[in-house]
Amino acid sequence: MARNPTDDVSQVVLLLDVNPFFWGADAERLNGSVGITFDQYFQHALMFLNGILLLNHTNKIVVIATGSSTCGFLYDSTATENISESITSKGKTKSQESRSELITQSMQEFVSKEEEAVKANPDSSKVQYSNFSGSLAMALCCILSTLLFLNESSRLLLGSCFLVAWLEIGHHCHGYRETSLV
């Protein structure tokens, strides 16, 4: 009996907390313990993602960063597969760059924007919590968009939930396509 090659494909959505109040020098002073550094945390996350891809190279991964003021996509394997022909500023194609390099570059950009936002905020001396509600909404949008493409019969129910979540967070999820909801 022939198996469908997509039977064992999984989608993993990983939310990374990059809140500078949690990982910064003040956090070490407030918590009283050294614990794990941000670099170690990030390297472990990359190893986890590589492990998921080692199980099945067609697995889909999405990485979402969560900060104190914003959240955003760091990597979406379904989106980068579609734009593998595009050229980066270095002259390499996206497919020539490793996933780890793409995720690391996106993480550095996100962390620098997050640090700028914290410095611009006059109440930056107060500890701020991570924006997990926004990143969870983004994760649900990605999962729902995957389900929409796999099961067209559930289009109406999932489509309406997807649009509500999309409007609430004000972000565009990768892979979203406009559909007529009957």
Listing DSSP states for 136-163 in one string gives: HHHHHHHHHHHHHHH-GGGHHHHHHHHH
The amino acid that residue 3 corresponds to is R
The SS3 of residue 13 is strand
Closest CA to 100 of 126, 80, 121, 70: 80
d(CA 72, CA 91): 25
pLDDT for the residue numbered 109: 92
Q: What is the pLDDT of residues 58-101, one digit of tens each?
A: 888 899 998 887 889 999 887 755 444 343 445 454 444 588 88
Give strand ranges (E) for the chain.
11-17, 60-66, 71-76
Give pTM, 2 decimals. 0.66
